[in-house]
Amino acid sequence: MDYSGRVNSKKGAGGIASTEESNIYTKKRVQELLATHILDLDNDPYVFRNHLGILECKLCLTTHNNESSYISHLGGRKHHLNLERRRILDEKQNLQLKYQQKIENQISISNVEKRNWNKIGKPIDYKIIKIRDPKTLQIGFLISCKFPKIIIDEPFFTIMSFYELTSKNQNLCIKEITKLKKSENNEEHVEGAEDEVEEDEDDEEYEPTKFQYLIISAEPYDNIAIIIPNKNEIDKPQDENKMSDTYWWYWDKDTKEFYLQFLYKN
């Protein structure tokens, strides 16, 4: 059939279809799309029907009056590009989640839960005794503390330097060291150059950084800090949590008493 005589038709183009013919073609196209594509709105994560009954694509932010329009949108270039971008974004997020889970599985200060308990004050009964090994003549300390109301299996202890303490604890240690200095220097010194030199040496001797600090923790008691000299190195094994004849500790569960002994190297 020759349509070249229609109005506004180009030569060889077949002419312009009427409204009736375009509606017939649209119905056939809708039937073909619905026959080849099954639209499941419940399982499609990107489509939903709004309050006006119009379909919306959440991925592309487009609206569609009927199912055939949305099905044709699914096969379009815009939807495929957005699907690819979404896939790349999901891969990045999955990698970040795996990395965060890997970090959380590792033990660090940030992921260790902080222990909370009702503190009952410092232990009253504790002793610090200076000792000397009769064979090696090494000097050291024997420390004993009683914790009758302890709620954990065994007390913890660590030896820290001045720089490892918090600013609050540093100030407390400085106060204790100044008290110790005043108690040992009660006698008045005669003014003179020699005395000034001695005072300078005393100041260096009582410098807070010249000491070590033994911290003992036993819940629910407050942590106690014992100031120990740092002139010589403590004779202890290189491996952590290892004991030797010159460095050992013991927790007596019956008497609730903790013992710690260490000697300095000659």
pLDDT (tens digit, 9 = 90+) per residue, 172-196? 888 888 887 787 776 545 444 444 4
The angle at the Cα of 167, spanning 163 to 169, to the nearest 5 degrees, equals 90
According to CATH, where is 2.60.40 located in the chain? 126-182+207-263
Q: Which of 36-40, 69-73, 100-104 shows the lowest mean pLDDT across its residues?
A: 36-40
Q: Is 126-182+207-263 in CATH node 2.60.40?
A: yes
Quick one: 6 exposed, middle or buried, by C-beta within 10 A (0-12, 13-18, 19+)?
Answer: middle
Alpha-carbon distance 257 to 92, whole Å?
55
Cα separation of the two ends of the chain? 117
Q: From residue 93, give the alpha-carbon distance in Å to each of 46, 88, 98, 124, 207.
A: 19, 9, 9, 55, 52
- The better pLDDT of the pair 203, 93 is held by 93
- Sheet of strand 257-263, all strands in order from the earlier edge strand to the far edge: 126-132, 139-146, 257-263, 247-252
Helix (H) or strand (E) holding 177: helix 167-184
Residues 79-95: what's their mean pLDDT? 93
Contact partners, residue 230, CB within 8 Å, separation at least 6:
161, 210, 211, 212
Q: What is the pTM of this model?
A: 0.50
Rounded Cα gap, residues 161 and 103, in angstroms: 29
